């Protein structure tokens, strides 16, 4: 197992500008510099999840996504990337791959219970990876305990196809902090995945500051690193 960002880089977090965090992009970037992060990816949810937020919570993004094309970091030297967290929609390869109808260059491939209604995400993930592997940066939270389809999904098959296409899997730090992680699947992933990212999946500044530190401590205490 190779951990690709054991340094000060975090590639999974959400903003209040475009998704479901408590802080704006500018607040995140400023704080990222204060805690010595060097590179971050703002990875807000896709249109499928945002439509669910709109229907159920009357939530609307406060900023138009195309604004990032002219945005500059005026606070510090943190490199800021804008990706999107795709939503797996069904057991075929269908995914929601846009945010405010814009498609980014790279994505996280994830599934969330608010839009994925099938029992098992295994085949959906395999087919999506086979079709979209050239755009997928990593597989998001594959050991999430609370999503029922992850509980029944076959982590061995997902790791196998991810390795085949050289796609890393994510050790989701927020979930391990909350003990929302299937530890048996996590153990298999950490021992068998070729490449891993450790990301905060931050929805608060506290997540951004503390979650990855906790995850790295967990890896050390359990002799993974």
Task: Dump pLDDT digits (tens) for 44-93.
Answer: 988 777 777 677 666 677 788 888 888 899 999 999 999 999 888 777 77
Token pair 């993930």 in the structure block, residue: 125
CATH architecture of 2-221: Alpha-Beta Barrel (3.20)
Output the CA torsion sign for 82, 217, 161, 2.
positive
The pTM (predicted TM-score) of the whole model is 0.92
Domain regions of the chain by residue span: 2-221
Percentage of residues of the chain with pLDDT beyond 70: 92
Say if residues 11 and 202 touch (Cβ distance below 8 Å): no
Burial 110-137, CB ≥16 within 10 A → b, else e: bbbebbbebeebbbbbbbbbeebeeebb
């Amino acid at each position: 197992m190779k951990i690709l960002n054991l340094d000060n880089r975090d590639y999974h977090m959400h903003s209040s500008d475009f998704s479901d965090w408590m802080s704006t992009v500018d607040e995140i970037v400023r704080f990222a510099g204060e805690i010595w992060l060097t590179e971050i990816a703002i990875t807000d949810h896709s249109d499928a999840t945002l439509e669910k937020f709109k229907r159920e919570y009357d939530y609307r993004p406060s900023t138009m996504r195309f604004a990032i094309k002219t945005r500059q970091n005026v606070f510090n030297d943190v490199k800021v990337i804008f990706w999107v967290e795709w939503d797996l929609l069904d057991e075929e390869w269908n995914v929601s791959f846009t945010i405010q109808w814009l498609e980014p260059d790279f994505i996280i491939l994830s599934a969330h219970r608010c839009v994925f209604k099938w029992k098992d995400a295994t085949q959906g993930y395999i087919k999506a990876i086979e079709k979209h592997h050239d755009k997928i940066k990593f597989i998001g939270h594959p050991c999430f305990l609370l999503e029922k389809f992850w509980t029944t999904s076959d982590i061995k098959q997902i790791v196998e196809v991810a390795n085949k296409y050289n796609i890393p899997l994510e050790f989701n730090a927020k979930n391990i902090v909350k003990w929302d992680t299937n530890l048996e699947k996590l153990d298999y992933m950490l021992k068998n995945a070729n490449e891993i990212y450790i990301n905060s999946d931050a929805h608060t500044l506290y997540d951004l500051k503390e979650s990855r530190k906790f995850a790295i401590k967990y890896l050390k205490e359990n002799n993974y690193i």
